[in-house]
């Protein structure tokens, strides 16, 4: 909705939507995050239900605070405590990406440490902590290579200390738990929108009883490929069968 987002405006908008969808006598709870304007909006909705609509019901459970938002706040507080470590890893990724010479030396360091089969570290998106978790999780197995790079490249000064790597390992284990919790919340809590439901239902078309051993990267690739194939006919008029036939011919 457009600005302003104060409590009074949110209440007016919420009231309009409730009436439009004929939910005034069916409303049980509203899930919102921990913002002051939402507290004001919920209080006004409660008063409206009790005194204007004269609906006799217990409104104590009307305000449900968003579990995912609370989880995000907890994780963000933890990330702030290790901001220096994360910044060093980000600077390392930038350094390796901006200089072919640095990238070549890092490949040498990987080879010397027998780590050439490990995933490369990709830059995270700062406001998405799940991508920061991936940043830490992919950097940890390469810590020996980063230390070796510091020895062979005098221009590299971003290598975390051993104690910082210990903290990174601890945090990665914690964030792995939070990732599982977030997925559990997404699956367990019903939503009025179908976007997230559709996203998770794709898994049923990719993973079944005979395909339960796919690695996460393979599952992600299959989901992306499925979306890509679905989008082709809308853009170019090519049918899925024609596209698959073309792919098979190119493979041969």
The domain limits of the chain are 7-65, 74-182, 191-251
63-65 and 30-32 strand pairing? parallel
Rounded to 10 degrees, the C-alpha dihedral 16/18/22/24 comes to -120
Collect the ranges in the chain with pLDDT lower than 70. Answer: 52-59, 61, 127, 182, 185-252
Q: With 0.85 as the threshold, say if the pTM is over it.
A: no
Supply the pLDDT for residue 53.
63
Backbone angles phi and psi of 124, in degrees to 5: -85, 170
Closest CA to 65 of 185, 183, 180: 185
**Measured between alpha carbons, how far is 187 from 99 in angstroms, rounded to an integer?**
43
* pLDDT tens digit sequence for 43-60: 888 888 777 665 556 667
Supply the pLDDT for residue 30.
83
Supply the pLDDT for residue 210.
47
Q: Which residue has the tokens 């809308």?
A: 234
Supply the pLDDT for residue 147.
92
Supply the pLDDT for residue 200.
46
Rounded to 10 degrees, the C-alpha dihedral 77/81/85/86 comes to 10
Supply the pLDDT for residue 88.
92
């Amino acid at each position: 909705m457009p600005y302003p987002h104060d409590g009074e405006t949110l209440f007016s908008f919420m009231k309009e939507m409730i009436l439009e969808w004929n939910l005034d006598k069916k409303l049980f709870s509203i899930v919102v995050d921990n913002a002051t304007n939402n507290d004001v909006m919920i209080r006004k909705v409660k008063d409206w239900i009790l005194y204007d609509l004269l609906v006799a019901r217990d409104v104590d459970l009307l305000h449900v605070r968003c579990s995912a938002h609370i989880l995000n706040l907890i994780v963000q507080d933890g990330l702030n405590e290790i901001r220096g470590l994360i910044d060093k890893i980000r600077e390392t990724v930038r350094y390796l990406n901006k200089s072919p010479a640095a990238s070549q030396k890092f490949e040498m360091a990987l080879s010397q440490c027998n780590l050439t089969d490990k995933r490369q570290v990709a830059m995270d998106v700062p406001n998405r902590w799940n991508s920061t978790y991936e940043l830490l999780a992919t950097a940890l197995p390469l810590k020996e290579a980063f230390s070796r790079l510091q020895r062979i490249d005098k221009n590299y000064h971003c290598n975390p200390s051993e104690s910082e790597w210990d903290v990174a390992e601890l945090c990665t284990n914690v964030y792995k738990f939070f990732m599982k919790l977030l997925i559990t919340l997404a699956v367990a809590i019903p939503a009025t929108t179908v976007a997230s439901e559709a996203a998770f239902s794709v898994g049923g078309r990719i993973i079944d009883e005979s395909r339960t051993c796919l690695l996460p990267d393979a599952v992600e690739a299959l989901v992306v490929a499925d979306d890509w194939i679905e989008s082709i006919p809308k853009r170019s008029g090519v049918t899925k069968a024609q596209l698959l036939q073309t792919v098979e011919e190119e493979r041969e």
